[in-house]
Structure 1
């Protein structure tokens, strides 16, 4: 059996060994946590750099898209009426021919008939493009969404108050959109 001194001596050695191991293990744990923190910081930095790159690419794609669509819109606006104008050129040619023929013409009936033919041709082209005149406005209530009141005159009868009495200039619609408001006289 061991005596008390030997046991105390062994205990002291164990304690010393524990004390020696403890600081080393704490140091090693600190070192491991520092390495983990550095590794996590590196991962976060790499992730931030990746997200910045994605953001810059997305931003530049959006800017390119915005510039392209604004250019396309501008091109569309400038060339949208090209087809209508191309269809109206023959009407202009007809008017020029009518003016040449009418220089020596003395009969007003033939001139009027030729002008009416050209006018109806022009109306047909415009109607084919979707332009429609506002018809039958006289006697109907004034509508500020499609009409512009030029003036008010005393209503000839009580039932015409607040209604359209005369149309000074026709209004036109293209589909559901008003292209030109009808200029009307209303009854007061």
Structure 2
């Protein structure tokens, strides 16, 4: 073999070695890119922790809100069942007022009614005020019938309230039943 051929073979083998070294370096850099660094791992875990913490905080707030709402409306069934008793007291008071001889009875019934109603108010019950001439609102009132309006200004307005409405906190537990002018 000649020297030129030996040099060429050496150059070719050197080029092959260089190409192989470059390939190995590329593979090493790719493998380094595939494996996350410790900072990246810490950041990922920190992100997971923050998301989990935020989710837990939202859970606590939601359950607290639900518990408060439950306490506010826990007596709703009891209050709803006591509303006819309040209505009966009011009817009794209107009948007793007509009888002039039953003044002492009226005072006693009124005393019991006030005590009973004040106790219900302390537990969150409130009356929905409805007067003759108020504008009818389907979200607040329940129309049970329509009658011809006695005057033009009462058309589409409340003529009579048949049954009073009540709220427990902010929630309506009984809508006022009204008669509307047509």
Shared fold (TM-score, shorter chain, > 0.5):
yes
Residue 93 of structure 2 corresponds to none
Tell me whether 1:79 sits opposite 2:74 in the alignment: no
Q: Which blocks of at least 5 consecutive residues in structure 1 are unaligned?
A: 1-8, 86-94, 96-106
Residue 126 of structure 2 corresponds to 131
Specify the SS of the correspondent of 1:29: helix
Scaled by the length of structure 2, the TM-score of the pair is 0.61
Greater relative contact order: 1 or 2 (C-alpha under 8 angstroms, separation 6 or more)? 2
CA distance in structure 2 between the partners assigned to 1:156 and 1:168 by the alignment: 17
Tell me whether 1:113 sits opposite 2:107 in the alignment: yes
Q: Which blocks of at least 5 consecutive residues in structure 2 are unaligned?
A: 79-88, 90-100
The question of whether the paired residues in 2 share the 8 Å contact of 1:151 and 1:186 is answered with yes
Q: Aligned runs of 1:105-184 on 2, under 5 Å?
A: 108-125=102-119, 126=121, 129=124, 131-135=126-130, 137-173=131-167, 178-184=172-178
Specify the SS of the correspondent of 2:36: helix
CA distance in structure 2 between the partners assigned to 1:76 and 1:163 by the alignment: 37
Q: Structure 1 pair 38/12, CA: closer, same or farther in 2 (3 Å)?
A: same
CA distance in structure 2 between the partners assigned to 1:111 and 1:82 by the alignment: 35
Residue 82 of structure 2 corresponds to none
The question of whether the paired residues in 1 share the 8 Å contact of 2:126 and 2:167 is answered with yes
Q: Aligned runs of 1:86-105 on 2, under 5 Å?
A: none
The question of whether the paired residues in 2 share the 8 Å contact of 1:134 and 1:173 is answered with no
Residue 42 of structure 1 corresponds to 35
Q: Structure 1 pair 142/119, CA: closer, same or farther in 2 (3 Å)?
A: same
Say which one has the larger Rg: 1
CA distance in structure 2 between the partners assigned to 1:42 and 1:159 by the alignment: 81
Aligned residues: 157
Deviation string 1:91-110 (CA, Å, 9 cap, x unpaired) is xxxx9xxxxxxxxxxx8432
CA distance in structure 2 between the partners assigned to 1:83 and 1:187 by the alignment: 35
Specify the SS of the correspondent of 2:156: coil
